[in-house]
Amino acid sequence: MKAHTKETQAAMTPNKSLEYLKEGNQRFQDNLKADRNLLDQVKDTSNGQYPFATILSCIDSRVSSELIFDQGIGDIFSARVAGNFVNEDILGSMEFACKLAGTKLVVVLGHTSCGAVKGACDNAKMGNLTKLIEKITPAVNAVSEPQDASLRNSKNIEFVDNVSKKNVELTIERIMKESEVLADMQNNGEIMIIGAMYDIHSGAVTFYE
């Protein structure tokens, strides 16, 4: 499999880009890999890059977008921060990726048993992590069940995973609200912005379509 070129990137659509990621994740679950020479892709991309997707994910060591979607050099832009939320810098990076570099799909990828989400559920305090966790707190507050305070913590994995999903949804809302560039591109059908969840037990990605 060769690296994407300007021509192959131009031929991609948002829906086709999504299918590429779905197919790659299925290969990952099946313990298969596309036939590609990464060093050849390094050479192919040395004078330019033409990725088809931008993925915002957590820094969790188990959730490498290139691996779980079986993608090669130059295929995707990968932004990572604990808790997969957006700020001004990440939004700017996404705008570059879509408006200037031509990606057709933005995926906000959460994952089960997220440590940053667990910290937010427990209202953890530690150095700069405190400020990071505060950005996830709105998702904690937006999940109404369970109402029993003793069950609204990191020991309740169902609650944690529900907060992770809500965090993905709120992150997409922020992208649409705070980036006129990306919102306009989505509304015009140039890109698709979609949420997804990675299951750390199965390796499967569920897209919120």
At a CB cut-off of 8 Å and minimum separation 6, what does 84 contact?
56, 57, 58, 108, 109, 110, 167, 168, 171
Is 114 marked within a binding site? yes
58 marked as binding residue: yes
* Lookup result for tokens 């932004």: 79
* 60 annotated as ligand-binding: yes
Whether 111 has a binding-site annotation, put simply, is yes
Q: Say if CB 22 and CB 70 are below 8 A apart.
A: no
Residue 183 to residues 87, 134, 178, 192, 193: CA-CA distances in angstroms?
Answer: 15, 25, 8, 10, 9
Longest dimension (CA), the chain: 57
Sheet with 192-198, strands from edge to edge, namely 76-80, 53-57, 105-111, 192-198, 205-208
CA of 59: how far to CAs of 40, 56, 81, 114, 150, in Å?
27, 10, 5, 10, 28
Binding-site residues for Zn(2+) sit at: 58, 60, 111, 114
Binding-site residues sit at: 58, 60, 111, 114
